Amino acid sequence: SCRNRAVKNRDLAMISLDFDFNILTRDLSHYLENQVKVGLFNENVGNKFVLKPFLVLNWFFRVDFLQKPQLISGGKKFYQFLREHCPVVSETYYPTFWCWESRIQTLLRPFVTAKPGVVYRNELIRAADGGQISLDWFDNDDSPSHPDPATRPTVLLLPGLTGTSRESYILHMVQQSRDLGYRCVVFNNRGVSGEVLLAKTPKTYCAANTEDLETVIEHIQRNYEAAPVMAAGVSMGGMMLANYLGRKGRETCLKGVVVFSAGWDVFECTASLEKPLDRFLFNSYLTSCLQASVHSYPQTQASAGKGYDMDHVMKARTIREFDERFTSIMFGYPSNDHCYHDASPIHRLKSVQVPMLCLNAADDVFSPSHAIPVEAVKQNPNLALLITCHGGHIGFLEGVWPRQSTYMDRVFKQFAKAVIEQGSRLK
């Protein structure tokens, strides 16, 4: 019958597709089989309206999206360590097909990914300048694999520019750490976690200044001397971590570091975010968040000898304008260019002396691909870059409905476990 011939032609066409089925194509094929009536599959209608578009769509996704990440390392030992203990670095990353574009990945991640329930224990510690630093602890006292708190591994987490311990990407890393039996502590930058901190301190935060981070790491080591410590930083948190490692060299207790979506050259990052569409989608919003974090800063203290006007700061429309009017002056730089140069981790990568894995997406508008420090990484055996073609900024969504873990989460979990349990092999 005509219907049988159509079904046979369809099956032969499907069998002739020479590719390995993956998450995307499985779902597309199931859709075609279950949602499109068999009666439509005669020789002309089927080939014209279903099979040919399907073949084109599959080819498009296979060539452009379904590619293995590029793993680059300055040392063969670190490279082989990652291949052996972090198999995710060798797996093809399948971006969610209905939101693969970088800006959409970036914008949708906070809304489509679930927020695991986490109960923190907050601790305020005093910094050397008299200011307060807010830490949120997840102690994981029910850990079956590490029941002794004194030796339970600790994971230090650094959120992004205006992020806190309540960001979905932080909550997912806490969940992954809980599954591994580890303890977590989230370092909240001054002024972003709800506490009124700015009235007690003469400074806020920026990627170039690592004094608060050093205080936090020393505090962790002092309280848990026998526990191994590793760290993960996201976006600006990753930049701060990389700058810290570049400054400290071997003088750190961290066993390893993983960095996600870091901006390696701040000049290139800000230039990318000032393009019209990205300025509208991201830059203006982040600028308003930065202004909100400093709006309670005392005007009298702000103007006393600092050389900036808070009213002028509140009129900034871009991150660059905010930094020119506030951040660079706050930290005593002669110009904003000096501040941006000091904040760019690319200048300190050669001094990193502990294993650091860096995940970036080539389509990240916050950290453009031409500024990813491939050559600098190749010169340091302690560094490794994992570059995906897609993923946006802190996106890395995968699967049809990416409610749970992302590709970034899987990289974090495997690397954290490898560093804590097998890191001695890298010495």
Residue 403's pLDDT band (boundaries 50, 70, 90)?
confident
Reported as a single tens digit per residue, the pLDDT across 299-314 is: 545 444 567 788 899 9
**For residue 240, pLDDT beyond 70:** yes
> Of 193, 393, 405, 409, which is the active-site residue?
393
> Is residue 257's pLDDT more than 60?
yes
The one-letter amino acid at 183: R
pLDDT score of 121:
97
Rg of the chain over CA atoms, in angstroms?
24
Mean pLDDT score, 278-286: 94
pTM: 0.84
β-sheet bridge partners, residue 155: 184, 230
**Residue 179: pLDDT over 80:** yes
From the options 3.40.50.880, 3.40.50.1390, 1.10.1740.10, 3.40.50.1820, give the CATH code of 68-265+344-426: 3.40.50.1820
- Percent of the chain whose pLDDT exceeds 90: 67
Residue-wise pLDDT for 188-216, tens only, equals: 998 787 655 445 566 789 999 999 999 99
Q: Which of 136, 323, 363, 364 is catalytic?
A: 364
Q: Taking residues 89-96, what's their average pLDDT?
A: 91
Asked if 390 and 361 touch (Cβ cutoff 8 Å), the reply is yes
Helix (H, G, I), strand (E, B) or coil at 125: strand
Q: Which of 235, 261, 272, 405 is catalytic?
A: 235
Q: 78: pLDDT confidence band, cut at 50, 70 and 90?
A: very high
pLDDT at 68: 85
Task: Using the predicted structure, report yes or no on whether residue 288 has a pLDDT greater than 60.
Answer: yes
| Sequential DSSP letters for 52-81 | HHHHHHHHHHHHHT-BPPEEEES-HHHHHH
Q: Domain spans of the chain? A: 68-265+344-426
Mean pLDDT in residue range 342-362: 97
**What does the mean pLDDT of the chain come to?**
84
> Residue 68 and residue 62: Cα distance in Å, rounded?
11
Give residue 65's pLDDT: 57
* pLDDT for the residue numbered 283: 96
Residue 32 has pLDDT above 70, yes or no: no
Is 179 labeled as catalytic in the residue annotation?
Answer: no
Would strands 154-158 and 132-138 be described as parallel, antiparallel, or unpaired?
Answer: unpaired
Longest dimension (CA), the chain: 90
* pLDDT for the residue 64: 55
What are φ and ψ of residue 352, in 5° steps?
-70, 130
Mean pLDDT of all residues in 12-22: 37
pLDDT at 369 over 60: yes
341 a catalytic residue: no
Residue 110 has pLDDT above 90, yes or no: no
Rounded distance, CA 239 to CA 389, Å?
21
